[in-house]
């Protein structure tokens, strides 16, 4: 147990990195996902096609393969960025495909009357998307978005494989020094569970606040 | 034409044509920039891609793909079986069993697989427990996947109308018989698309074989890069192989879902399963 307290600082550092990646990639994926979802329902066939291809690509390719491609291979083609931003970009792009799919199913829950009313008020297509459809779609998918954010929190651990020292990598490193696997891995697992729980509670609260009862 | 917008008038049609042209130019410019970047660094030279026209390389990668499918199949069978037990446990009448299964599911859904794999790789050997290579990946994956399978199956079971089990009871079937002949077949059919998309995410998760040095596609790809010294072509080819395999399975899942939606006799599970989004997000 002493080992845990001695290395508490370094574990907290790892946790900080995990939370940093989670927050930036989370916000990035929601913003990017909203754009992809809008493109996916737009009247322009080319945008619909591009958004479909984008979502299919990221849903069907393993995250680890993308991370390795982006971190180890792409620098050879001149796409050079430090490793943490690269990981954040890959995670945001990857999860945005799931966000877009969730939002698209959220759009389907917006009643026809809302859309017709927006049109009857003289809103343009862009205005009715921005002011009526997308906000309601977001409210309908708070819970699924929370689940995607939990998945993202677990997926940040893959950053350890490409050399980012976040929580999982820290647990692993500290354990190699102290050789107390049960203690360290349980602590690591509990921290991830706490993160997931926090996201779950937050989305539960948001859901109660934002949900539109139909 | 669509529930979101009207039939366009002449002005809208003109705007749409302009919009399409602008988007086309933007997408083309993006692709051109990427291609230019690759070309400028000599990544498009035919010599770099030539190895991928030889059967030897494909046989080598094929063995990796076989390993990927094999690992996914083992996890699917074990995880599916365990998931079924957990789903039944979660709806069981006995409170301790319900509690135990819920706890397992909550833990397994909120712990990263990688942490468990590191535990198997570096942690347990320190205690003198050393599993064979495949199991270092299969055990953690089964642990996590079974919880997701359990949630999908439970959603399928609880969304069947209660008339089904009541009818089975009134026919004199025992609880187990009702489950086996009436409930499970319908539940499994209704959630088959979700099960299939979970299998796709499982297939993607077997890339963790890269870490435990199990012969899966990604690991073979890495070994190939140290032989060919061509990182970009190799990893792009690997990515495309994964894309092809998973996308065809995803397309199959979409088709299954459409078929289920069409058949009125099966129109019981129409509510989107909350598990589905999480599941595929792994």
Judged by CB atoms closer than 8 Å, whether chains meet at A161 and B236 is answered as no
Looking at residues B170-193, what average pLDDT do you find? 91
Q: What residues in A contact B124, CB-CB < 8 Å?
A: 181
Which sign does the torsion angle of CA A115, A117, A123, A124 carry?
Answer: positive
pLDDT digits (tens, 9 = 90+) for B158-181: 999 989 989 999 999 998 899 999
Question: A100 by DSSP, 3-state: which?
Answer: helix
CA distance A84 to A14: 13
Distance from CA of B221 to the nearest CA of A (A): 10
At B125 the pLDDT is 85
Structural domain includes residue A10: no
ipTM of the complex: 0.88
Domain holding A72, by residue range, is: 17-164
Q: What residues in A contact B24, CB-CB < 8 Å?
A: 46
Judged by CB atoms closer than 8 Å, whether chains meet at A168 and B115 is answered as yes
CB-defined contacts A:B, below 8 A: 178
Cβ pair B150, B105 in contact under 8 A: yes
Structural domain includes residue A109: yes
The model's pTM is 0.89
Structural domain includes residue A126: yes
At A87 the pLDDT is 96
Read off the pLDDT band of A202 (50, 70, 90).
very high
Residues 20-59 of A with CB under 8 A from B: 41, 43-47, 50, 56-57, 59
At A180 the pLDDT is 85
Q: What residues in A contact B200, CB-CB < 8 Å?
A: 60
What is the domain-level CATH number for residue A51?
1.10.3720.10
Structural domain includes residue A67: yes
A162 touches chain B (CB under 8 A): no
As given in the structure block, the two tokens for residue B189 are: 């059919």
pLDDT digits (tens, 9 = 90+) for B234-252: 999 999 999 999 999 999 9
At B277 the pLDDT is 45
Distance from CA of A100 to the nearest CA of B (A): 11
pLDDT digits (tens, 9 = 90+) for B201-230: 999 999 999 999 998 999 999 999 988 888
Distance from CA of A64 to the nearest CA of B (A): 7
Judged by CB atoms closer than 8 Å, whether chains meet at A189 and B207 is answered as no
B250 touches chain A (CB under 8 A): yes
Structural domain includes residue A214: no
Structural domain includes residue A6: no
Structural domain includes residue A201: no
pLDDT digits (tens, 9 = 90+) for A143-161: 999 999 999 999 999 999 9
Number of independent structural domains in chain A:
1
Structural domain includes residue A106: yes
Cβ pair B204, B68 in contact under 8 A: no
């Amino acid at each position: 147990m002493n080992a845990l307290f001695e290395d508490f600082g370094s574990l907290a550092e790892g946790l900080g990195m995990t939370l940093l990646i989670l927050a930036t990639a989370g916000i990035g994926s929601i913003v990017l996902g909203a754009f992809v979802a809008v493109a996916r329902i737009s009247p322009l066939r080319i945008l619909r096609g591009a958004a479909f291809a984008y979502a299919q690509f990221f849903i069907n390719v393993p995250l680890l393969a993308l991370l390795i491609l982006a971190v180890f291979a792409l620098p050879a083609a001149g796409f050079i960025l430090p490793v943490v931003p690269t990981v954040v970009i890959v995670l945001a792009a990857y999860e945005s495909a799931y966000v877009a799919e969730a939002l698209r199913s959220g759009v389907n829950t917006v009643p026809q009357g809302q859309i017709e009313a927006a049109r009857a008020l003289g809103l343009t297509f862009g205005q009715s998307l921005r002011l009526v459809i997308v906000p309601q779609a977001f409210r309908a998918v708070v819970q699924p978005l929370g689940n995607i954010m939990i998945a993202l929190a677990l997926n940040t651990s893959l950053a350890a494989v490409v050399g980012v020292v976040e929580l999982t990598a820290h647990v692993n490193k500290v354990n190699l020094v102290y050789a107390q696997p049960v203690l360290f891995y349980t602590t690591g697992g509990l921290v991830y569970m706490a993160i997931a729980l926090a996201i779950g509670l937050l989305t539960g609260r948001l859901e109660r606040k934002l949900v539109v009862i139909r | 034409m669509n529930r979101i917008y009207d039939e366009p008038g002449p002005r809208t049609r003109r705007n749409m044509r302009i919009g399409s042209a602008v988007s086309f130019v933007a997408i083309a410019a993006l692709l051109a920039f990427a291609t230019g970047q690759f070309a400028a660094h000599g990544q498009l030279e035919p010599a770099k891609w030539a190895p991928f026209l030889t059967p030897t390389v494909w046989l080598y990668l094929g063995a990796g793909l076989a390993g990927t499918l094999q690992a996914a199949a083992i996890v699917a069978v074990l995880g599916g079986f365990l998931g079924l037990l957990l789903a039944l446990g979660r709806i069981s009448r006995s409170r301790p069993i319900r509690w135990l299964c819920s706890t397992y599911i909550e833990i397994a859904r909120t712990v990263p697989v990688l942490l468990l794999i590191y535990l198997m790789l570096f942690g347990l050997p320190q205690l003198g427990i050393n599993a064979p290579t495949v199991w270092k990946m299969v055990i953690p994956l089964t642990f996590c996947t079974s919880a997701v399978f359990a949630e999908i199956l439970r959603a399928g079971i609880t969304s069947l109308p209660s008339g089904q089990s009541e009818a089975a009871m009134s026919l004199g079937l025992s609880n187990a018989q009702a489950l086996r002949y009436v409930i499970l077949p319908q539940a499994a059919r209704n959630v088959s698309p979700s099960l299939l998309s979970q299998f796709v995410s499982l297939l993607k998760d077997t890339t963790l074989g890269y870490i435990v040095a199990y012969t899966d596609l990604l690991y073979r790809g890495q070994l190939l890069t140290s032989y060919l010294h061509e990182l970009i072509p190799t990893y792009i080819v690997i990515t495309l192989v994964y894309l092809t395999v998973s996308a065809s399975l995803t397309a199959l899942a979409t088709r299954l879902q459409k078929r289920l939606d069409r058949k009125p006799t099966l129109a019981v599970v129409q509510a989107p399963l909350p598990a589905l989004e999480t599941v595929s997000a792994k």
